[in-house]
Structure 1
Amino acid sequence: MKINIFDSIQLREMEKVKLMNRVDKKYWFHVSRLSALLEEINESYFLLDMDGQSLLPYSTVYFDTPEDRMFIAHHNGKLNRYKIRRRSYVSSGISFFEVKFKNNKGRTIKKRIPSDFMEPGFSSQEIDFIHEMTPFCHQELKRSLVNHFSRLTLVNKNFKERCTIDLNLQFQQAQNSVGLGDLAIVEVKSDGRSSVSPLLMALRNQRIKPAGFSKYCVGRAITNRHLKRNAFKEKIRSIEKVLHTENRLYN
């Protein structure tokens, strides 16, 4: 996979394309298809570079209620739903406590505050943030999933679109650990206004179709067989086929 074919961009230059209120499109496919995709779009995007490194490690802790209300809301297709997580941008040592809200118009709204990734509970700032931004009480939240992955971040040279490519995905829940190392997950993030997206055009050219992928929900579903997860069975079977794996992710 060649990534030195892109012009680079620094983190401070990405401020103008934060897109905290946005429309997302997701795609996923076998990682072997990624090189051809990158070669088709390299002239239209910058690639985030941090101290000479572009494939950057991320770690995330998700929180849910004992009844798994946030997972179940997604499973049941409910809009106006939440995800609560703490994310570490490992290379920079920066962490944020984040709330993602998917509204009934299909837009994703993300709010975040600085955080300590190693915090065992919630800081006072996080407690206030939870109460302000969600209908949940911090006392009912528990750690429900950990994931690790590596990410490439692309920025359209028109600064109206940001794209992430997640690789080397690993999930951990209690004593269970499952990896999806050969899967590439592409997310195209924009303000929703019509503009030409070279990446979307390249995905169409390669006959890669949009398909939802929640790292939280897929991770929960393949690490905890006791959850209600029928709605994700078809997707997980499709992942097995894409990865050509004989190991059953959905048992």
Structure 2
Amino acid sequence: MENDLSNKLKNFTPISLTQMNSTASFLDRIEKKYLISKKQLELVLKELEKDFYVLEINDKSVFTYDNVYMDTKNHDFYKLHQEGKKSRTKIRTRLYVDSNISFFEYKQKQDKTIRKFRYEFPSEEHGTMTKGKTRFYEGVYMSFYGKLPEKITPSLNTNYNRLTLCAKDNGERVTVDFNIKTKNLRDPKAKKTSLENAVILESKSMSEDCLSHRVMKKLGIETASSCSKYCLGLIYSGIEGGKGKFKKTIKQIKEMK
């Protein structure tokens, strides 16, 4: 798929990471997710090519990401998402494989808005909770909930390819994730599982009426309310009490070609 995408992206004007970061950081943003097939992705890219740049670094536009999600012993963060709570938390370490740069990231959903906090750390610490990460996590958590959080440990690994688009006018960003693989880190017998042919497209903007959303509406593609890579990864690994609100999403993935 990566080679096919490279050809499709030739019609996009490239933008550097420095240029893209100067448009908007969107650490506080509205996110919309879409679960699409590879064939639908071709149509979406065609619609976006005039109004969006594609991120390019060292002549590459498709990059590899490796995330390790943290959770409490009882998977409380997963359960908050499964129950559809308006206020929920997601914690992870992220490794940008191509550049060997890592960040510890705290994402807090408050109603429709996502707030993101992060800091860079040595890449050899990827996938671990250190004293520094724990202090950072506890500080941000307390600012939202007013109490100390429970201890968290590595829960799930996700690895995937991503391309990033940036709107020419307002800095809206669109990420496209594919070749998604996950592994349950709390099961010593767990094997890597694949989300098969699924492509997860996500818009990040300051407005619900963003350009990419209008394009998706034009193509008849609806938003996916249950499309978290973390939750899907745990469900695919056989977590107890899985599926639930994700049944429709899993059925959709199985039907994709």
In 1: Cα distance, 2:43 partner to 2:223 partner: 18
Residue 86 of structure 1: aligned partner:
93
Show CA shifts across 1:20-76 (max 9, x none): 000011111111221222122211000000100001110000000111110011111
Q: How many residue pairs were aligned?
A: 240
Q: What is the DSSP-based 3-state SS (H/G/I as helix, E as strand, rest coil) of the residue aligned with 1:140?
A: coil
Q: Distance between the aligned counterparts of 1:82 and 1:117, measured in 2?
A: 23
Q: Structure 1 regions of 5+ residues with no counterpart?
A: 244-251
Q: 2:19 — aligned with what? A: 13
**More helix by percentage:** 2
Deviation at residue 228 of structure 1 after TM alignment: 4.2
Structure-2 change in CA distance of 1:11 and 1:184 (3 Å): same
Task: For structure 2, list consecutive stretches of 5 or more residues without a partner in the other structure.
Answer: none
Deviates more, 1:223-232 or 1:61-70: 223-232
Q: Which residue of 1 aligns with 2:132?
A: 125
Instruction: Say yes or no: does 1:3 pair with 2:9.
Output: yes
Please state whether the residue corresponding to 2:159 is helix, strand or coil: strand
In structure 2, the CA distance between the partners of 1:121 and 1:60, relative to structure 1 (3 Å rule), is closer
Distance 2:138 2:175 in 1: 30
How far has the Cα of 1:90 moved from its partner?
1.1
CA contact 1:88–1:96 (8 Å) conserved in 2: yes
Superposition RMSD on alpha carbons, in Å?
A: 1.9
Matched residue, 1:201:
214
CA distance in 2 between counterparts of 1:203 and 1:231 reads 23
Contact 2:20/2:171, CA 8 A, preserved across alignment: no
Partner amino acid, structure 2, of 1:99: Y
CA distance in 2, matches of 1:133, 1:188: 24
Equivalent residues of 1:160, 1:191 under 8 A apart? no
> Who is 2:169 aligned against?
158
TM normalised by structure 2 equals 0.87
Equivalent of residue 218 in structure 1, options 226, 232, 243: 232
**What residue is the counterpart of 2:180 in the other structure?**
169
Equivalent AA in structure 1 for residue 202 of structure 2: E
Normalization by structure 1: what TM-score? 0.89
> Quick one: distance in 2 between partners of 1:168 and 1:121?
24
Question: What CA distance in whole angstroms lies between the structure 2 residues aligned with 1:234 and 1:45?
Answer: 31
Partners of 1:130 and 1:137 within 8 A in 2: no
2:202 to 187, 190, 207: 187
What fraction of aligned residue pairs are identical, expressed as a percent? 29
Tell me the equivalent position of 1:248: none
